[in-house]
Amino acid sequence: MKILALHSVGHDSGAAVVKDGRVVYSIETERLTRRRYDHRVDLAIDAVVSQPEHPLNSFDWVVLTTPIGHPSVTVVDKPRVMERLRGRHVLHVETTCEIRGQRLPCIVVTHEVSHAMLAVHYSGYVENCLILVNEGQGQFTQNALFTYHDGHLDWVDSDVLPWWGRGLGWTGMGVLFGMGNSPGVAGKLMALSAYGQPDEVIRERLMEIPDKIVTDRSYAYDIATKLHDTHFADGFQRQANIISTFQQLFTETVTSTVIEAMKRHRCGALAMGGGCALNIVTNTTLRDTHGLTPSIAPACNDSGHPLGAAAYAWQKLSGNSLLPFPVYIVGIEETPSQRREALRAGNLTPLDYDEDIVVEVLAEGGVVAMNHGLAESGPRALGHRSILANPSIEGMKEKVSQRLKAREWYRPLAGLMTTEKFTEIFPESPDSPHMLFDYQIPKSMMPEAQHRDGTSRLQTLSQSSDPMLHSLLTKFSAYTGVPGLINTSLNSAGRAIAQTTDDMLTDFLRTEVDLFVSGNFMAWRK
């Protein structure tokens, strides 16, 4: 059986293909266009059906996650489908859809459900699991609770969080600070938290604001105007204190809600989905303070919808769980000839990859742009589409974050180390392969990959997940004594993460990147 899964309406559109329980292809539209949060699913469909092995007539089912209504994918009885889904916690509806003149059996999965099911998949389909889906706006809710028992996903509650515990709460803070309301605002704001201190007066004022702030856009702007008139958010330190207070409120609310719900529903495990599952502080508090390590998909935001919908549909249609799949699954890997020609087109000289040279470049303070294998799923670079640098060299954070990527000065860079080195340093901690938790590390160890509070958002890398990069990290650590590298995403300001070698060169050819790695080739900057 073969399934085409689509997230067709809204930001972060994309597609996935499942054959006989295995994910064989995945694409996020923004990786094709370099436009962040791109909604043009027709381009993702093009990317699928252009492959000889995936013509439209080869699919037994199409799976759509709500909302639906893109002109490229027509649900023949959309009013009936949406009316059914509006029933109390209905998870899916079977129907028929039309794509490019072909009618195919179709399953429409509710937005919240695809988030929840991807989280269940990354839990290993553990029994008696509570799932919190917390995001900006789902199909029917801004947050929802599910349980997973005996192979069944049940929707048990909706909108259980006050506004300061929701994704749109972060958007509201973005409006207050004049940053707008794009999906990327939350990440910028979270970085401010480490520079401030929670304040009881600020806390009281925030809690006085009614939930209407996240349901009525005009009201949110009105509140922002009134607060500005009182100089509530004047100055960097004041803003940092506000966000630190808001982060504390968010974390306390989410943790207390899931702990109480786990007791109420007799759940022994926790999984989380939706964009709010990217909140490192909350994830780390759940782990370190409450002994709960939530299962979180690397593509827990809307880019993971095709995979989550596919996981749900496969289980419903076959009675079996979707097989595990690697995080490196996005797109089609470039051939050696394509990589070589792209480097030459950039007026660079392709050389055979030499690990020793790359280690020396990094050790001496050079910056390496890394593009190899398939791209990683989700919003974070995990080594296949990354900028790598030495975190022990003073000024490297400024060079990489501000000069290369034009990011705000206060935003931190993440660290990357082998699983073996991580275990030496944190013997009691589970691995962190998807960069979803903070770790307190000595300042002398990786100073340029630390945040203001001494934490680093570490990714751990096993030899089996990425032999090439694991070998590089091992040799770099042995050569320098530095346990890991800076790892940040391979994209310039405002662009989606680079998918191809040409994308990488478009963003960084005329920058301070010293060495470009593309698969088994490397090239020096001119």
pLDDT in tens, 18-46: 999 999 999 999 999 999 999 999 999 99
SS (H, E, C) 137-151: CCCCCCEEEEEEECC
DSSP 8-class letter at 407: -
Tell me the average pLDDT across 254-275: 98
CA gap 244, 327 in Å, rounded = 32
CA gap 431, 67 in Å, rounded = 35
Tell me which amino acid residue 359 is.
V
Angstrom distances, CA of residue 101 to CA of 18, 95, 104, 451: 22, 16, 10, 53
Supply the pLDDT for residue 423. 96
* Spatial CB neighbours of 227, under 8 Å, sequence gap ≥ 6: 176, 233
Q: At what angle do helices 111-122 and 305-318 cross, to 10 degrees?
A: 80
Tell me the average pLDDT across 242-258: 96
Tell me the average pLDDT across 380-388: 97
pLDDT at 419 over 90: yes
Q: Could you tell me the pLDDT band of residue 231, with boundaries at 50, 70 and 90?
A: low
Query: Among residues 262, 172, 164, 254, which one has the least CA distance to residue 221?
Result: 172
Q: Could you tell me the pLDDT band of residue 185, with boundaries at 50, 70 and 90?
A: confident
Between 402 and 182, the more confident residue is 402
Q: Could you tell me the pLDDT band of residue 317, with boundaries at 50, 70 and 90?
A: very high
Angstrom distances, CA of residue 429 to CA of 423, 424, 457, 461: 7, 10, 14, 14
Query: Under a CB-based contact definition with an 8 Å cutoff, are residues 274 and 166 in contact?
Result: no
Tell me the average pLDDT across 197-218: 87
Q: How many residues does the chain have?
A: 526
CA gap 159, 180 in Å, rounded = 24
Query: Under a CB-based contact definition with an 8 Å cutoff, are residues 161 and 258 in contact?
Result: no
CA gap 4, 106 in Å, rounded = 9
Tell me which amino acid residue 156 is.
V
- Average pLDDT along the chain: 94
**Domains, the chain:** 2-112+304-329 (3.30.420.40), 336-524 (3.90.870.20)
Strand order in the sheet with 92-99: 74-75, 92-99, 102-109, 61-65, 2-7, 14-19, 22-28, 328-330, 375-376
CA gap 260, 274 in Å, rounded = 20
> Does the bond joining 67 to the residue before it have cis omega, within 30 degrees of 0?
yes
Tell me the average pLDDT across 190-205: 92
Q: Could you tell me the pLDDT band of residue 348, with boundaries at 50, 70 and 90?
A: very high
Supply the pLDDT for residue 23. 98
- Angle (CA) 195-200-203 rounded to 5° is 80
Query: Among residues 59, 63, 60, which one has the least CA distance to residue 75?
Result: 63
pLDDT tens digits along 47-67 = 999 999 999 999 999 999 999
Supply the pLDDT for residue 338. 98
pLDDT at 191 over 80: yes
CA gap 182, 104 in Å, rounded = 35
pLDDT at 363 over 70: yes
Supply the pLDDT for residue 221. 77
Structure tokens at 294: 């939530």
Q: Could you tell me the pLDDT band of residue 235, with boundaries at 50, 70 and 90?
A: confident
pLDDT at 365 over 90: yes
3-state secondary structure of 419: helix
- Count of CA atoms in the C-beta half-sphere (13 A) of 22: 3
Query: Among residues 305, 374, 254, which one has the least CA distance to residue 121?
Result: 305
DSSP per-residue string spanning 153-222: EEEEEE--S-GGGSHHHHHHHHHHTT--S-TTHHHHHHHHGGGS---HHHHHHHHHS-GGGGT-HHHHHH
Query: Under a CB-based contact definition with an 8 Å cutoff, are residues 73 and 41 in contact?
Result: yes
Angstrom distances, CA of residue 451 to CA of 193, 194, 454: 10, 7, 5
Confidence (pTM): 0.95
